[in-house]
């Protein structure tokens, strides 16, 4: 194992310090308990949007703290849910007086700890549960589908609504609508190596791939021989669109997300293949994003996310955002 690190036990704290030093104009880092908050938080009169989860998926979630997206993110240790104390501290620090909204990926530890935190906060609170992974219906990590790269879409659209002054109930309803309109599926070409373990999460032969892999290296639908990019894209696109069952002509957002170890050249190649297949099925790709956004440490692979868009969702997707990992103007 080769990693840029000093000690395994300090890798998260040192990484967060670097994040804060590099983006001090956008965010601040708190260490005891650990969370990342907007530099200007709390924003009075605004719904406070908070997410979090195990580290190792960067830039999800800490890279999405800032104007037009998250007010705070709570990072746990690698592949480990944040504790309720982190979530409560973050919520109290960014509470602008218009309620707290949690965006929670559907993993057992995340769900349990965010629920505990909601009971402890004492402020009006709602939660959005993200379960966009169409690959499997359950695993040892989840009850039902996993929350994966579609979480970014929820955080961006709901973050823009909150920035525009939407109420807690309206933000929560919008987020749940985005979840229902979003599906994802991934493929791994290699495993990832967790620093604490010092070994790959699973054994994958040089000529094998794992279809439907999770963002912690969980098994997917099946393992088979490596196929062409077009064949892989067809498998992923078919699985997601068959699950979403959008009507012909529906406008779609397509996110091609790298899992940490795949070059942009290959991600753009996969985008071209996926878009071509989706458009041949009669759908319109009107918004797109390509890059490493919800990673699995150093895993080579990618996931495809489709979101069915309406005019309100498009408007909030296009709204300005300024975070460490995602930014654009109106």
> What integer pLDDT is reported at residue 142 of this predicted model?
54
- Has 23 been annotated as catalytic? no
Of the candidates 250, 307, 303, the one whose C-alpha atom is nearest the C-alpha of residue 279 is: 250
- For 87-104, the pLDDT digits (tens) are 999 999 999 999 999 999
- For 21-70, the pLDDT digits (tens) are 999 999 999 999 999 999 999 999 999 999 999 999 999 999 999 999 99
182-318, CATH topology level: Hypothetical Protein Tm841; Chain: A;domain 3 (3.30.1180)
- For 250-262, the pLDDT digits (tens) are 999 999 999 999 9
- Has 61 been annotated as catalytic? no
Helices (H), the chain: 11-22, 84-94, 108-121, 150-163, 168-180, 229-244, 264-280, 311-318
> What integer pLDDT is reported at residue 1 of this predicted model?
76
Residue extents of the structural domains in the chain: 10-180, 182-318
pTM: 0.96
Confidence of residue 203 (pLDDT cuts 50, 70, 90): confident
Neighbours of 195 (CB within 10 A): 16
Burial 146-182 (b: 16+ CB within 10 A, else e): bbbbbbbbbbbbbbbbbbeebebeebbbbbbbbbebb
pLDDT at 143 over 70: no
Q: Tell me if 235 sits within 8 A of 241, measured CB to CB.
A: no
Kindly give, in sequence order, each residue whose CB lies less than 8 Å from that of residue 218, ignoring residues fewer than 6 positions away: 136, 139, 140, 141, 146
SS3 of 272, please?
helix
> What integer pLDDT is reported at residue 55 of this predicted model?
96
Residue 147, phi-psi category: left (phi > 0), alpha (psi -120 to 50), beta (remainder) = beta
CATH homologous superfamily for 10-180? Dihydroxyacetone kinase; domain 1 (3.40.50.10440)
């Amino acid at each position: 194992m080769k990693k840029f690190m000093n000690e395994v036990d300090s890798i998260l704290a040192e990484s967060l310090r670097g994040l804060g030093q590099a983006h001090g104009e956008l965010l601040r880092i708190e260490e005891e308990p650990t969370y990342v908050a907007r530099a200007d938080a709390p924003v009075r009169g605004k719904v406070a949007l908070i997410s979090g989860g195990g580290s190792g998926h960067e830039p999800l979630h800490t890279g999405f703290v800032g104007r037009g997206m998250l007010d705070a993110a709570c990072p746990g240790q690698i592949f480990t849910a944040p504790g309720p104390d982190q979530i409560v501290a973050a919520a109290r620090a960014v509470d602008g007086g218009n309620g707290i909204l949690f965006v929670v990926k559907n993993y057992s530890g995340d769900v349990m700890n965010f629920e505990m935190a909601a009971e402890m906060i004492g402020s009006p609170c709602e939660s959005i549960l993200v379960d966009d992974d169409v690959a499997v219906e359950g695993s040892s990590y989840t009850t039902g589908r996993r929350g994966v790269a579609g979480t970014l879409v929820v955080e961006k659209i709901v973050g823009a609504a909150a920035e525009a002054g939407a109420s807690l109930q309206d933000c929560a309803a919008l987020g749940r609508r985005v979840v229902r309109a979003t599906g994802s599926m991934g493929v791994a070409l290699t495993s990832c190596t967790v620093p604490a373990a010092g070994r790959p999460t699973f054994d994958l032969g040089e000529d094998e791939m794992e279809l439907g892999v999770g963002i912690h290296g969980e098994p997917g639908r099946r393992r088979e021989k490596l196929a062409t990019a077009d064949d892989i894209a067809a498998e992923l696109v078919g699985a997601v669109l068959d699950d979403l069952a959008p009507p012909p002509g529906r406008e779609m957002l397509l996110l091609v997300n790298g899992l940490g170890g795949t070059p942009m050249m290959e991600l753009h190649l996969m985008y071209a293949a996926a878009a071509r297949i989706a458009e041949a099925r009669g759908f319109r790709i009107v918004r797109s994003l390509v890059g490493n956004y919800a990673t699995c440490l150093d895993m080579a692979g990618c996931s495809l996310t489709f979101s069915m868009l309406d005019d309100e969702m498009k408007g909030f997707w296009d709204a300005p955002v300024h975070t460490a990992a995602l930014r654009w103007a109106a």
